[in-house]
Amino acid sequence: MTSRVHISEVGPRDGLQSIDRVMPLEAKKAWIKAEAEVGVPEIEVGSFVPPKLLPQMADTAELVAFARTIPGLAVAVLVPNFKGAERAIAAGAEKISMPFSMSETHSLKNVRKDHAAVIEEIAAIAARVAAEPAETRPHFEVGLATAFGCTIEGPVDEDQVVRLAEQAIAAGAAEVGLSDTTGYANPAQVKRLVRRVKAAVGADRLNTLHLHNTRGLGLANALAGLEEGITTLDSSLGGLGGCPFAPGASGNIVTEDLVFMLEAMGIKTGIDLERLLEVRTIIAEALPGEPLYGFTPDAGLPLGFKGTQE
């Protein structure tokens, strides 16, 4: 198991896209700045989707520009298609992630494309990324959404996930990630699928898990992934997040709980957990009444807790 985990905060994108209210731009900036200052190394600041579909994400270009001024912060965004990727590159995003639903029904609902069309889109984005000068070229990851199950189709065949992962890499993606979009995964399934996809595309082409805690297995699934060589975990401050096109799929892993688990185990994150807990105040004040989750924020840190003391 790795001795250090890279935490990618997805709350400003996955969290905020899942609620009706629009967080003010200045509050988003304060949130991003505060998390970066406590040591969060990567933040997915938004997504380049049409504002009429997700008005919560209309200010993503401004957030990318702001986040790029923060020293040491990796600035990530989600893009649904080639047009979104072009906007992300123009804005200066350092990492772009495109969702690729392993459930074709979910893909049609989410991005209105079947699997063949998504592979074509991946190839077009990869070519556009490759054409960018090395110093401004973003890292291009494809997130294999609904990899562990779908709220529309139910179980998703693992052979299909492996096959589509191979096709995404062949089309030019730098790496793939596995996403439990619907909160269906269990630890045995996570270990099995991570092992199979790594074997198919190369161990260095699968580093990331995006997990939900819908049924309380988020941290168990994260640990299972780490045992299979995963080094990057997505999470959301306060557990905000879900998928607008997967009914009932609520609850990203709570960043605060994830950091506590890792640091308590002696796995380095580079994050000051005590200060991270204070960042929740920004969300609570900007979105009064919005439910925030997490056991660690409620219980507090154990007496004598020191973390990895970086």
Residue of 111, 211, 222, 243 marked catalytic? 243
What whole-number distance in Å separates Cα of residue 235 and Cα of residue 221?
A: 13
Closest CA to 100 of 146, 149, 47, 151: 146
Task: Tell me the backbone φ, ψ of residue 119, rounded to 5 degrees.
Answer: -60, -40
Tokens encoding 38: 């406590």
Is 243 an active-site residue?
yes
CA dihedral 115, 120, 126, 131 (to 10 degrees): -170
307: left (phi over 0), alpha (psi -120 to 50) or beta: left
What whole-number distance in Å separates Cα of residue 21 and Cα of residue 210?
A: 24
What whole-number distance in Å separates Cα of residue 274 and Cα of residue 222?
A: 22
Sequence-distant (6+) residues with CB within 8 A of 86 are: 128
Enumerate the active-site residues.
Answer: 243
